Structure 1
Amino acid sequence: MRQKKLLALIILMIFTLSINTAYADEQTASTNLTTYSSAYNKYSNHPYGYEMTLLNSLKLNEDIGTVKSRFESEGLVVEVLYDNFTNTLNSSSIYLNYGNRGILGNPDFKITGEYNHNFNGEWGHIVLYERKKLSNVENDRNFYANITFARSSKEVITVFMKSSQPLYIDYIMPDFKLTKKSGTMKEDKVFEPVEKNFDEQTKKFYDEYLLNNEKVDFGIFEPTFPLYSYRLAQIEQSLDYNFPVVLLYNSFSLPYKKDYMNKAKELGKVVEYTLYTTDIINGKEEDITLEILDGKYDDYLIHLAQSFNEYDFPVLFRLNNEMNGEWVLYSSHKVGKDTDLFIASWRYIYDLFKEQGVDNLIFVWNPNEKSFPDFSYNDYLCYYPGNEYVDVVGLTAYNTGNYYKGETWRSFSQAYDHFYYDYAKRFKHPMMITEFSCASAGGNKSLWHQDMFNIINRYDRIKIAVLWNGQDYDNSKPEKTVSRNYRIDLEQEVINAVRNGLQNYK
Structure 2
Amino acid sequence: MKFKNIIIMSAIIYLFTIFNVAFASETNVSTMMEFYSSSHNKYTNNPYGYEIILPNNLKLNEDIVSVKSRFESDDLVVEILYDNFYNTLDSTTTYNSYGNKGIERNEEFQITDEYNHNFNGIYGHIVLYERRKLKNEESDRNYYATISFSRTSKEVVTIFMKSSQPLYIEYIMQNFKFIEKSGQLKSDVVFEPVKKNFDKKTQEFYDKYFANNEKVDFGIFEPTFPTYAYRLQQLEGIFDYNFPVVLLYNTFSLPYKTDYMNKAKELGKVVEYTLYTTDIVDGKEKDITLDIIEGKYDEYLEQLAQSFNAHDFPVLFRLNNEMNGAWVLYSSYLVGKDTDLYIECWRYIYDKFQDYGVDNLIFVWNPNELSFPNFAYNNYLSYYPGNKYVDIVGLTAYNTGNYYYGEKWRSFSEAYDHFYFDYAARFKHPMMITEYSSSSTGGNKTEWFKDMFNTINKYDRIKLAVLWNGQDYDTSKPNKTVSRNYRLDLDESVIQVIKEGLQKYK
Superposed pair shares fold, TM > 0.5: yes
Decide whether the 8 Å contact of 1:201 with 1:313 is kept in 2. yes
TM-score, normalised to structure 1's length? 0.95
1-structure distance, mates of 2:60, 2:255? 42
2-structure distance, mates of 1:53, 1:441? 54
The aligned counterpart of 2:460 is: 460
TM alignment of 1:159-174, pairs within 5 A: 159-174=159-174
The aligned counterpart of 1:273 is: 273
2-structure distance, mates of 1:27, 1:212? 41
Deviations 1:426-454 (A, max 9, x none): 00000000000000001110110000001
Residue 185 (str. 1) matches residue 180 (str. 2): no
Instruction: Name the count of aligned residue pairs.
Output: 487
Say which SS state the counterpart of residue 332 (structure 1) adopts: coil
The aligned counterpart of 2:374 is: 374
Decide whether the 8 Å contact of 2:25 with 2:31 is kept in 1. no
The aligned counterpart of 1:493 is: 493
Deviations 1:242-297 (A, max 9, x none): 00000000000000010100000000000000000000111111000000011000
Q: Structure 1 regions of 5+ residues with no counterpart?
A: 1-18
Decide whether the 8 Å contact of 1:222 with 1:232 is kept in 2. yes
2-structure distance, mates of 1:474, 1:39? 57
Letter paired with 1:435: E
2-structure distance, mates of 1:208, 1:120? 61
Letter paired with 1:296: K
Letter paired with 2:119: F
Letter paired with 2:189: K
The aligned counterpart of 2:57 is: 57
TM-score, normalised to structure 2's length? 0.95
What is the CA distance between 1:479 and its match in structure 2?
1.0
Deviations 1:288-331 (A, max 9, x none): 00000110000000100000001010000000000000000000
TM alignment of 1:14-53, pairs within 5 A: 26=26, 29-53=29-53
Decide whether the 8 Å contact of 2:25 with 2:32 is kept in 1. no
The aligned counterpart of 2:252 is: 252
1-structure distance, mates of 2:126, 2:306? 46
Deviations 1:214-252 (A, max 9, x none): 000000000000110000000100100000000000000
Say which SS state the counterpart of residue 97 (structure 1) adopts: helix
The aligned counterpart of 2:5 is: none
Residue 355 (str. 1) matches residue 342 (str. 2): no
2-structure distance, mates of 1:36, 1:212? 53
Deviations 1:460-489 (A, max 9, x none): 000000000000011111111111000001
The aligned counterpart of 2:103 is: 103
The aligned counterpart of 1:5 is: none
Identity of aligned residues (%): 73
Letter paired with 1:382: S
2-structure distance, mates of 1:86, 1:44? 23
Decide whether the 8 Å contact of 2:115 with 2:127 is kept in 1. yes
What is the CA distance between 1:138 and its match in structure 2?
2.9
Q: Structure 2 regions of 5+ residues with no counterpart?
A: 1-18
What is the CA distance between 1:25 and its match in structure 2?
6.9
The aligned counterpart of 1:282 is: 282
Say which SS state the counterpart of residue 333 (structure 2) adopts: helix
Say which SS state the counterpart of residue 416 (structure 2) adopts: helix
Letter paired with 1:68: K
Decide whether the 8 Å contact of 1:223 with 1:470 is kept in 2. yes
The aligned counterpart of 1:9 is: none
RMSD over equivalenced CA pairs, Å = 1.3
1-structure distance, mates of 2:67, 2:330? 21
1-structure distance, mates of 2:151, 2:160? 17
2-structure distance, mates of 1:470, 1:127? 42
Letter paired with 1:503: Q
What is the CA distance between 1:211 and its match in structure 2?
1.0
The aligned counterpart of 1:439 is: 439
CA shift in 2, pair 1:53/1:429, >3 Å: same
What is the CA distance between 1:122 and its match in structure 2?
2.1
2-structure distance, mates of 1:63, 1:262? 42
Decide whether the 8 Å contact of 1:28 with 1:183 is kept in 2. no
Decide whether the 8 Å contact of 1:315 with 1:360 is kept in 2. yes
Letter paired with 1:213: N
1-structure distance, mates of 2:192, 2:82? 26
TM alignment of 1:41-440, pairs within 5 A: 41-440=41-440
Say which SS state the counterpart of residue 137 (structure 1) adopts: coil
What is the CA distance between 1:120 and its match in structure 2?
2.4
2-structure distance, mates of 1:28, 1:467? 45
2-structure distance, mates of 1:207, 1:170? 54
Deviations 1:34-61 (A, max 9, x none): 1111111000000000001100000000
Deviations 1:180-228 (A, max 9, x none): 1111110000000000000000000001101110000000000000110
What is the CA distance between 1:24 and its match in structure 2?
10
Letter paired with 2:317: F
What is the CA distance between 1:27 and its match in structure 2?
7.5
1-structure distance, mates of 2:173, 2:448? 54
Say which SS state the counterpart of residue 463 (structure 1) adopts: strand
What is the CA distance between 1:115 and its match in structure 2?
1.1
What is the CA distance between 1:23 and its match in structure 2?
7.5
Greater shift in the superposed pair: 349-358 or 134-143: 134-143
2-structure distance, mates of 1:444, 1:26? 53
1-structure distance, mates of 2:285, 2:270? 28
CA shift in 2, pair 1:398/1:133, >3 Å: same
Decide whether the 8 Å contact of 2:324 with 2:332 is kept in 1. yes
2-structure distance, mates of 1:238, 1:152? 58
CA shift in 2, pair 1:24/1:222, >3 Å: closer
2-structure distance, mates of 1:176, 1:80? 11
Deviations 1:77-122 (A, max 9, x none): 0000000000000000000000110001111000001111122232
Deviations 1:346-399 (A, max 9, x none): 000000000000000000000000000000000000000000000000000000
Decide whether the 8 Å contact of 1:144 with 1:163 is kept in 2. yes
